C-alpha cells in the first residue's frame, strides 16, 4: 500500500514519535509512506516525499514535527479540495493517516465524505478533540506548565507577591485545570466558568488574611471570553486583581514553551500506540475513523465524532479544582 502521512494545526510534543510509529509499522508490512509537509497545504501543493525508517531514526524523543505543519483547510482555498484529490490520485495513494486537532481532522472528515480513505489521530496540547480521552502532546504540556508554575510559586513566595500565570487554551481549560491542580494553584480562571474579578479578589484577600503571603492564579488564555476583549486574559486578570487587592502582582505568560521541546514518556507511549493503531486500521480497511486513546489502549471510533466540537473538561475535574482553590 501507499500511505500519505501529514501533521496539521499547531505542533506539539509527540508528533515525531507518532510519525516514527506509522513509518515503522508501514515498513514492517511492506508499505510505502509518503510524508507531506505543512499539513493539508502540502497535500494540495503536492509536497510529498517518501519516508523510510532511516528518516525516523532518533525521532522518538524529539519535539516538533519533521513533516512541518500549517493551519490549512482545503475547502477554505479555491481549488484546495480538488488539488488534494488530484494529489491522492497522482501519488497512487491508498489512504491518508492524518495527525491533527479539530481543524485538520474536520478537514479530513470532509474529504472522507468525498470518498478519500483516511484514519485520524488526535493531537493538541488543548486535549479537546472529541472522541478520544487523550490527545498527543497534552501530558507534556501539563508537565511543562506545572513545572513553570512551581517555579513562579517560589519566587512569588519570596517576594510576597500575587503571581498570575497564563497558560494556553483558547477555548478549553484542560491545560489550566490539570497543570493548576498538579502545581497547587491557589485560583483558576477558565473559559468554562465566568470570572468575577471582585469575588476572586475578595477570596484571595481572605486567603492572605488567613496567613498566606503570596498566591498563584492560573489563567487559561480563553478565560473571560464572555466579557468584551481588551488585551489578553492574563493581562486583564492580573491588572484587575492588582487593582482590587492592592497586592504587588506579576504576570507570566508561558506561551509556546508549552508546545515545544521533547515529549515526556507518557506522550511517547501514547503517540506510538496511536501511530500503530492508525496503521492497523489502514491495513484492516477501517477508514473514516479516529484512533481514540486512553492511557495505554486505543480503539477506533467514527471520524464524524470530531464534528461534535471541543470536548469539554469533565465536571468532576472542575469539582476537584474548585475544592482545591479559592473563588
Ligand atoms: O495548539 C493549540 C493552541 O496551543 C491554543 O491553545 C493556542 O491558542 C494556539 O494553539 C496558539 O497557536 P499559534 O500561536 O500557533 O496560532
pLDDT per residue, tens digit, the chain (327 aa), is: 999 999 999 999 999 999 999 999 999 999 999 999 999 999 999 989 999 999 999 999 999 999 999 999 999 999 999 999 999 999 999 999 999 999 999 999 999 999 999 999 999 999 999 999 999 999 999 999 999 999 999 999 999 999 999 999 999 999 999 999 999 999 999 999 999 999 999 999 999 999 999 999 999 999 998 887 789 999 999 999 999 999 999 999 999 999 999 999 999 999 999 999 999 999 999 999 999 999 889 999 999 999 999 999 999 999 999 999 999
Those residues whose C-beta lies under 8 Å from the C-beta of residue 78, and which sit 6 or more positions away, are: none
pLDDT of residue 297: 94
CB atoms within 10 A of CB 269: 17
Residue 253: its H or E element: strand 249-253
Helices and strands of the chain, counted as H and E runs: 10, 11
Q: Which of 170, 220, 234 to mutate to test the pocket of ligand 1 (most atoms within 8 A of CB)?
A: 170
pTM: 0.97
89 CA from centroid of ligand 1 (Å): 33
pLDDT of residue 302: 98
Phi, psi dihedral angles at 123 (to 5 degrees)? -135, 140
28 CA from centroid of ligand 1 (Å): 35
Which atom of ligand 1 is nearest to 175's Cα?
Answer: 6
**Is the beta carbon of 168 within 6 A of some atom in ligand 1?**
yes
C-alpha distances (whole Å) from 200 to each of 186, 231, 324, 327 are: 11, 19, 14, 5
Whether 2-137+263-308 and 140-258 share one fold: the answer is yes
Q: CATH topology for 2-137+263-308? A: Rossmann fold (3.40.50)
Pick from 150, 121, 48: which is nearest to 270 by CA? 121
**Is the beta carbon of 31 within 6 A of some atom in ligand 1?**
no
Q: Which of 122, 138, 168, 255 to mutate to test the pocket of ligand 1 (most atoms within 8 A of CB)?
A: 168
Pick from 221, 223, 190, 225: which is nearest to 313 by CA? 190
pLDDT of residue 98: 98
Which atom of ligand 1 is nearest to 170's Cα?
Answer: 8
**Is the beta carbon of 275 within 6 A of some atom in ligand 1?**
no
Residues 30, 120 contacting (CB under 8 angstroms): no
User: What is the crossing angle of helices 197-209 and 233-245, to 10°?
Assistant: 50
**Is the beta carbon of 272 within 6 A of some atom in ligand 1?**
no
**Is the beta carbon of 126 within 6 A of some atom in ligand 1?**
yes
**Residue-range domain boundaries for the chain:** 2-137+263-308, 140-258
Catalytic residue among 11, 31, 102, 126: 126
Which atom of ligand 1 is nearest to 168's Cα?
Answer: 6
259 CA from centroid of ligand 1 (Å): 8
pLDDT of residue 147: 98
CA–CA distance, 4 with 88 (Å, rounded to integer): 8
Pick from 176, 81, 99, 184: which is nearest to 135 by CA? 99
CA–CA distance, 139 with 62 (Å, rounded to integer): 15
Q: Which three cell numbers stand for residue 220?
A: 487559561
Q: How far is CA 48 from the centre of its chain?
A: 25
- CATH number for the region 140-258 comes to 3.40.50.460
Q: What is the DSSP letter of 302?
A: E
CA–CA distance, 52 with 30 (Å, rounded to integer): 11
Helix, strand, coil distribution of the chain in percent, nearest 5? 45, 20, 35
pLDDT of residue 236: 97
CB atoms within 10 A of CB 261: 15
Alpha-helical (H) ranges within 71-196 are 80-90, 102-113, 138-159, 174-183
Which atom of ligand 1 is nearest to 124's Cα?
Answer: 1
Ligand 1, atom 4: closest residue by C-alpha: 168
206 CA from centroid of ligand 1 (Å): 35
pLDDT of residue 47: 86
Residues 36, 19 contacting (CB under 8 angstroms): no
Q: How far is CA 312 from the centre of its chain?
A: 13
Which atom of ligand 1 is nearest to 169's Cα?
Answer: 6
**Is 226 a known active-site residue?**
no
Ligand 1, atom 16: closest residue by C-alpha: 10
Amino acid at each position: 500500500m501507499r500511505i500519505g502521512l501529514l501533521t496539521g494545526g499547531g505542533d506539539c510534543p509527540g508528533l515525531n514519535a507518532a510519525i516514527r510509529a506509522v513509518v515503522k509499522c508501514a515498513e514492517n508490512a511492506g508499505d510505502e509512506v509518503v510524508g507531506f509537509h505543512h499539513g493539508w497545504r502540502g497535500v494540495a501543493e503536492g509536497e510529498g516525499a517518501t519516508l523510510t525508517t532511516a528518516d525516523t531514526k532518533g525521532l522518538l524523543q524529539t519535539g516538533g514535527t519533521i513533516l512541518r505543519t500549517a493551519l490549512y483547510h482545503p475547502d477554505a482555498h479555491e481549488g484546495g479540495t480538488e488539488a488534494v484529490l488530484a494529489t491522492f490520485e497522482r501519488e497512487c495513494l491508498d489512504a491518508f493517516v492524518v495527525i491533527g486537532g479539530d481543524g485538520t481532522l474536520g478537514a479530513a472528515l470532509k474529504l472522507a465524505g468525498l470518498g478519500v480513505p483516511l484514519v485520524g489521530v488526535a493531537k493538541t496540547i488543548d486535549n479537546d478533540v472529541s472522541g478520544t480521552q487523550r490527545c498527543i502532546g497534552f501530558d507534556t504540556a501539563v508537565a511543562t506548565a506545572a513545572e513553570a508554575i512551581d517555579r513562579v510559586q517560589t519566587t512569588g513566595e519570596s517576594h510576597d507577591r500575587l503571581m498570575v500565570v497564563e497558560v494556553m487554551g483558547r477555548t478549553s481549560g484542560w491545560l489550566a485545570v490539570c497543570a493548576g491542580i498538579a502545581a497547587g494553584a491557589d485560583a483558576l480562571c477558565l473559559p468554562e466558568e465566568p470570572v468575577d474579578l471582585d469575588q476572586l479578589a475578595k477570596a484571595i484577600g481572605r486567603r492572605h488574611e488567613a496567613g498566606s503571603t503570596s498566591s498563584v492564579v492560573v489563567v487559561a488564555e480563553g478565560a473571560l471570553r464572555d466579557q468584551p476583549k481588551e488585551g489578553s486574559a492574563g493581562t486583564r486578570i492580573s491588572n484587575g486583581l492588582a487593582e482590587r487587592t492592592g497586592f504587588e502582582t506579576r504576570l507570566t505568560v508561558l506561551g509556546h514553551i508549552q508546545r515545544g521541546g521533547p515529549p515526556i514518556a507518557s506522550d511517547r507511549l501514547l503517540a506510538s500506540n496511536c501511530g500503530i493503531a492508525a496503521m492497523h486500521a489502514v491495513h484492516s480497511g477501517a477508514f473514516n475513523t479516529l484512533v481514540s486513546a486512553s492511557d495505554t489502549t486505543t480503539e477506533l471510533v467514527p471520524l464524524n465524532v470530531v464534528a461534535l466540537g471541543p470536548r469539554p473538561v469533565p465536571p468532576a475535574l472542575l469539582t476537584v479544582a474548585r475544592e482545591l482553590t479559592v473563588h
